[in-house]
Amino acid sequence: MTNVIMRQYRASDYAACIALYKELAQRHAEVYEDPTIAAHDFKQVFDEYLGRSDRRGTWVAVMDDRVVGIIGLLDRTGEKGVCEIEPMVVSTDSRGEGIGSKLVAYVKEETKKKGYRFFTVRPELRNEQAFKFYVKLGFNLVGGVELFQDLSPELGRTWKSGIEILGQKLRY
């Protein structure tokens, strides 16, 4: 595994984290077939994240003096003792080196120190790579399911079949 240092976010990491947010949005635009996702002002998006009242911590992964990953921890509003990973991004050129696993393990220990009862993440099913990654790391309990309807079918998004919950066939 690559020699990576995990540490708390610092103001000097700001530009690198905005670049990571941009990478994440570009990936999501591809996965979700929605180019508008990548058209945001990422400085504003990151500033809003930093200003969240439910943010309990932000950490970065540093390799060779370069920020290559970011992970954040949020309180789940209305759910005492429950925290959520948001965001979690590893730079495209550093994926596959165990950095994401190290970030999650590091923050998991931080959540235990803070006294949380549950450590959660909400990957979108369309992002199969992220979903499988989190399951591999032990996120294998289902606490809830978010159902929605596509109100813009004219955009021609492709929905996959193959998931069944409680006898209901669903698409993702």
The whole-angstrom separation of Cα 105 and Cα 111 is: 10
pTM: predicted TM-score of the whole model, two decimal places: 0.89
DSSP H helices in 12-170: 14-31, 42-50, 99-113, 128-136
What are phi and psi for residue 59, nearest 5 degrees? -130, 155
Instruction: Judge whether 37 and 23 are in contact, CB under 8 Å.
Output: no
pLDDT in tens, 98-127: 999 999 999 999 999 999 999 999 998 888
Distance CA 105, CA 100 (A): 9
Q: State the average pLDDT over residues 124-144.
A: 92
Q: What is the pLDDT of residues 40-78, one digit of tens each?
A: 899 999 999 999 999 999 999 999 999 999 999 999 877
pLDDT recorded at residue 31: 86
- Provide CATH code, domain 5-144: 3.40.630.30
Strands 66-75 and 82-90: antiparallel
Tell which residue, 93, 161, 154, has the closest CA to residue 126. Answer: 161
The whole-angstrom distance between residue 87's C-alpha and the CA centroid of its chain comes to 4
Strand partners, 73: 57, 85
Write out the two tokens for 151: 């109100």
